[in-house]
Amino acid sequence: MNIYNVLIKSSLLYGSETWRLTENNKRQVEATEMDALRRSSRISRKERIRNVTIRQQIGLEETIVKEIEQNQLTWYGHVQRMTEGRLPKIALKWIPKQKTARGRAKKNWMKGIRKAINERNLNEGQWGDRKQWSLGVGQRKKTF
C-alpha cells in the first residue's frame, strides 16, 4: 500500500484539481488504478476476481475519482477565499467572449464542481468557513 500511495496514487492525482472530469476520463483513471492494485496484489484479470473484492482485500474504501473530486472541491474553496485581484480567482471567473461551437455544450470544470457540491449538500458561500467546508468536502455522496 505504501508503494501504491507514493508512486501510483501521487502520479495519478498530480494536477487533478484542474481536470475536467468526463465519464471517459473517470473510466480511464479507475482502470489505471485497478490495474495498479491488481499488479501490486499479484491478481490477474484471468482469475476473474471483481474489483470490489480486490478493494476490500486491500482495505481501500474509496475510488480515486472520489479523491479527485475532493481535491477539486478543496482547491475551489481555496480559490474562493482569495481576494478578488488574485490571478487564480480571475481565471476561475473568466468567461470567453467567443461564440460557442454548434451542438451540445461540453461539461466544463465548473459544472463538475457544482455537481460535486450538490452531491455533498454544500452551499455556495459555505467555503468562507474553512473547517465546515473541509468537513463537507470529505462527506460521502448522496446515493439513492
Look at residue 27 in the predicted model and tell me its pLDDT: 93
Quick one: which of 81, 66, 62 has its CA closest to 116?
66
pLDDT tops 60 at residue 144: no
Q: Is the dihedral of CA 43, 49, 52, 56 positive or negative?
A: negative
Q: Which long-range contacts (CB under 8 A, 24 or more apart) does 95-103 make?
A: none
pLDDT tops 60 at residue 130: yes
Instruction: Give the helix ranges, DSSP H, for the chain.
Output: 2-3, 10-13, 23-40, 51-58, 64-80, 87-93, 109-119, 130-137
Q: How wide is the angle at C-alpha 22 spanned by C-alphas 70 and 121, nearest 5°?
A: 40
**64-80 helix and 130-137 helix, angle to the nearest 10 degrees:** 160
Q: What is the pLDDT of residues 44-62, one digit of tens each?
A: 888 888 888 888 888 888 8
Quick one: which of 79, 63, 69 has its CA closest to 114?
69
pLDDT tops 90 at residue 134: no
Q: How sure is the predictor about 139, in pLDDT bands with cuts at 50, 70 and 90?
A: low
Give this prediction's pTM: 0.81
Q: What is the pLDDT of residues 15-49, one digit of tens each?
A: 888 888 888 989 999 999 999 888 888 888 888 88
> Structural domain boundaries of the chain?
2-63, 66-137
